[in-house]
A and B are shown apart, each in its own frame.
Chain A
Amino acid sequence: MDLENQRRVKEFAEQVGPENLVVIIGAGEAGASALAAETVTAGDPTYAGPLTGVSLGLKVYHVCEDEMKAEFDEAIYEDQVSMMEMVIDLDEIVEQMESIRSQFTKY
């Protein structure tokens, strides 16, 4: 995950409290989604950014997961996200995201 984004997530968690923060991931690959999810829960696995050794345990979802989809205005989802749903391997992404949440999410 981009070092600047790590810094921003860390700051947001300090500002609003980790229990009040949800990270939404929009990556197209299961691997990249899992890496970002791991970074904001267990800490930066690449040991490069501000979240190295910082386990925020945040709630984290991919934008195409049902839990997130339910939060959207249907027309906006259709206009902005639906095309990508056809492109990505959603089952694999959901599997990886659930695995990260069950291991590292504290809230």
Chain B
Amino acid sequence: MKSVVKGTSYVLVHAPDMLLRNGTTQTTERIVNPDSDYLKKLPEHIRSYDDALSYLPNQAYIGNLDPVALREHEQPWFDKKYDKADRFGSFGEIMPQEEFYFMIQAADEFELVRLEKGFVEEYKEKFFANPVLTDLIKDRIHDGIEKEALEKLLEDDAEGLYIGDRLVGAVKKAHDVDVALTSHVLLENLASKASNILSLLHLIKSAGLDPDEVDYVIDCSEEACGDMNQRGGGNFAKAAAELAGFTNATGSDTRGFCAAPVHAISIAASLVAAGAYKNVIVAAGGSTAKLGMNGKDHVKKDMPVVEDVMGGFAVWIGADDGKNPYIDLEHLGRHTVGTGSSPQAVITSLVSDPLERAGLKITDIDIYSPEMQNPDCTKPAGAGDVPVSNLKMIAALAVKQGDLERAGINEFVENRGVPGFAPTQGHIPSGIPMIGHSRQALLDGDVKRVMIVGKGSLFLGRLTNLFDGVSFMLLPNEGIEEKSAVSGDELRKIVAESLRGFAQSLLSEEEDEQ
């Protein structure tokens, strides 16, 4: 059975104060160099919600702007505004930080998160006005506690939640000595869970998903939850599914650095193809640690720190409906243990090997979606334009294989990819942001084949020097194949008629002999 992509959602959370206080570039700097010029200058480079909202790549991420149209706007994009910007897009929304603190409180099951009373009174109605919110979420919001009580929590190692200098909430530690349950780790995990839930709520609304029909959820973010005896014990998936109202679902987590989402989708599609489950959701929340990751370079270049949003997404993989694009499970690409780390070997394993097995060439794919990092984030940090570099590598391999003229590399990059528009949140940009846009292009018949490529830097965990990557093709659905032309009843009828005929012939022979 084919596994199809029935819907997608993409959300962003504007988190300027979490950037300042929880991003690891900033937390590290405060330890190593607390009086640095960077920390002094950083607040001047923080964007307002409105600036993050009208930012072109963010609007492309939530589905308000075709990423191809980003080409019409000269880079960099941080000094330009999208005139049709909206908080809500066809795939999701850009949630302001104030409302996200309510999501974090709603995501907490252990009375670890407390918001300030005045803050709750001020912003509760605004939060409740969000059309994707369910009663399950709204009913969990507390009235809040007094400011003095909140300040007392900070004295006991709680992590503060701020709007500018105003303390509006706190996340408590869950254990006195366990480093896996510090307030810093819990905030990181609850923020990931909360943005995952937000993605699931948008999927319900934008894709018309019935929460009762979900069988299984796979979380593919990059955080680990557990205690000191099982630091990565996990199941963000089931925790998020619970608050999304997926009563009939269970789930599990798939990890693999930035490659995890593509691994998770191939696993989800296999579960559906095998008939184990009918509806599997692959989802991930965002990362507080990566907020402002390249902030030093952005400040040095005197530009806004554009890594001020957390990302989230959800993809609904379902049984074949004869309509939605399907995942080609017969021709998955994979970087193996023996592949090697040279870019040439990597691109061959992820792109040209699966295509060759499918009897196709590199030039037979209409859209490639490799890592989709927003170049505004990466170029000032000396990492270049990541999607363009990847597209160039794919084109260069096509040249080596004799399927493309060398002079055609730039045209290939222009026509078979889109500018990067995803926040640099590790697992968020890795191939996945284009699934929503590509699904629509395949449904509209604008493209015939799309390849999604995820890559991961495993060596960062210090367990192996290996790199990783996986890929799959998204193809148009040409309708459900007709099953066997003869049904069971018809077959019985045919056999009965044959036997009757045979008996008749025997009878005739007997009569003749007589």
For the complex, give the distance between the alpha carbons of A84 and B462 in Å. 26
User: Footprint of A on B, CB under 8 Å?
Assistant: 28, 32-33, 296, 340, 342-345, 347, 382-384, 389, 392-393, 396-397, 399-400, 406, 409, 462
A-B interface contact total, Cβ < 8 Å: 52
Q: Which residues of B contact A48 (CB under 8 A)?
A: 28, 32
Q: Which residues of A contact B384 (CB under 8 A)?
A: 28-29, 31-32
Interface size class of A (residues with CB under 8 A): 10 to 19
Q: Are A32 and B383 CB-contacts (below 8 A) given A82-B400, A83-B393?
A: yes
Residues A81 and B392 in contact, CB atoms below 8 Å apart:
no
A40 shortest CB reach to chain B, Å: 15
Residues B382 and A83 in contact, CB atoms below 8 Å apart:
no
For the complex, give the distance between the alpha carbons of A67 and B331 in Å. 41
Q: Are A86 and B382 CB-contacts (below 8 A) given A79-B344, A81-B342?
A: no
Q: Which residues of A contact B392 (CB under 8 A)?
A: 86-87
Residues B344 and A84 in contact, CB atoms below 8 Å apart:
yes
For the complex, give the distance between the alpha carbons of A48 and B32 in Å. 8
Residues B396 and A28 in contact, CB atoms below 8 Å apart:
no
Chain A CB within 10 A, most for which of B340, B393, B397: B393
Q: Which residues of B contact A81 (CB under 8 A)?
A: 342, 344
Q: Which residues of A contact B28 (CB under 8 A)?
A: 48
A76 shortest CB reach to chain B, Å: 10
Q: Is the interface of A mostly helix, strand, loop or mixed?
A: helix
For the complex, give the distance between the alpha carbons of A87 and B389 in Å. 7
Q: Does A80 count as interface, using CB distance less than 8 angstroms? A: yes
Residues B382 and A84 in contact, CB atoms below 8 Å apart:
no
Residue of B nearest to A29 (CB): B384
For the complex, give the distance between the alpha carbons of A32 and B382 in Å. 5
Residues A35 and B344 in contact, CB atoms below 8 Å apart:
no
Residue of B nearest to A76 (CB): B342
A43 shortest CB reach to chain B, Å: 15
For the complex, give the distance between the alpha carbons of A82 and B406 in Å. 13
**Can you name 14 extra interface pairs (CB under 8 A) apart from A29-B389, A31-B382, A83-B400?**
A4-B462, A28-B384, A28-B389, A29-B383, A31-B383, A48-B32, A79-B342, A80-B340, A80-B342, A80-B344, A80-B345, A83-B347, A84-B344, A86-B392
Residues B33 and A47 in contact, CB atoms below 8 Å apart:
yes
Q: Which residues of A contact B296 (CB under 8 A)?
A: 46
A45 shortest CB reach to chain B, Å: 10
Residue of A nearest to B378 (CB): A29
B460 shortest CB reach to chain A, Å: 9
Residues A84 and B396 in contact, CB atoms below 8 Å apart:
yes
A27 shortest CB reach to chain B, Å: 8
Residues B406 and A29 in contact, CB atoms below 8 Å apart:
no
Interface 1/0 per residue, A1-42 and B, CB below 8 Å: 000100000000000000000000000110110110000000
